Amino acid sequence: MSGLEPIGEIVLLQIQKEQLVVGVRPERSYRTGPLVAVDALTLSPAGAVARIDGGWVVDRHHTAHPANIRPHMGRLLSVGFTGHYDRMTADFGAVELGVGGENIIVSTAHRVDLSRIGPGVVIRTAGGDIATDEATVAEPCIPFTRYLLGDDAPDAEVAEKRERLRGGMRGYVMGLGSMTGSVEIRLGDTVLAGASAIRRTPA
């Protein structure tokens, strides 16, 4: 498919079973327990689901999730990059891959700017190429920044480090409205930039 530029292969897939930030301001905290790594995700215009222990589990951002009273159709899927985690590790110390809650982590040594994937991404599966909707930056929250620094980090340091997580460092969110059916994506599938070149689901 012309006009598509490979970014890298999928090295981590995960489902978010529940909200990662809990509590009431200013006592909110960040947890990673609801994240479950899987070998495959099934994507549809309603979001992501995964088969776990013989049953289907819907992602926290899926329109059918019980807690998703007002689904945000532009935030059904999230994508991060290993190169971003390398940079976070340089800033914060060791940061485990995927703790930002992204559904998809793509292997690339580089930082991926919004200018590159703003129209969305293409995922090359065994059944063909699928495209997401436009991407927007996943803004870092205070609880996530404090989680990376440690609970005893001073507020000033949290604020300064939070700025370094902006601009897509924590990844991007996007919708799936361009799809017309359900498609399985797996570890090893390739993610490409240039989603505007394709707006279809494999037959």
Burial of 199 (C-beta count, 10 Å sphere; 0-12/13-18/19+):
middle
Going by C-alpha positions, the residue among 25, 30, 26, 68 that lies closest to residue 48 is 68
Rounded to whole angstroms, the Cα distance separating 49 from 62 reads 8
Cβ–Cβ contacts within 10 Å for residue 23, how many? 11
| pLDDT of res. 201 | 40
More confident residue, 1 or 100: 100
**How does pLDDT run across 186-195, given as a tens digit for each residue?**
999 999 998 6
List residues bridging with 75 in a β-sheet: none
- Considering 3-7, 48-52, 176-180, 192-196, the range whose residues carry the highest mean pLDDT is 48-52
Protein fold of 5-194: M1 Pyruvate Kinase; Domain 3 (2.40.33)
More confident residue, 169 or 194: 169
More confident residue, 70 or 41: 41
Q: Are 93 and 83 in contact (CB under 8 A)?
A: no
Going by C-alpha positions, the residue among 113, 107, 116, 115 that lies closest to residue 85 is 107
Structure tokens at 78: 């999230």
pLDDT classification of 200: cutoffs 50, 70, 90: very low
Q: Calculate helix-pair angle for 82-92, 155-164, nearest 10 degrees.
A: 150
Backbone angles phi, psi at 158, to 5 degrees: -60, -45
**How does pLDDT run across 33-62, given as a tens digit for each residue?**
999 999 999 999 999 999 999 999 999 999
pLDDT classification of 196: cutoffs 50, 70, 90: low
pTM (2 d.p.) = 0.93
**Dihedral of CA 142/146/152/157: which sign?**
negative
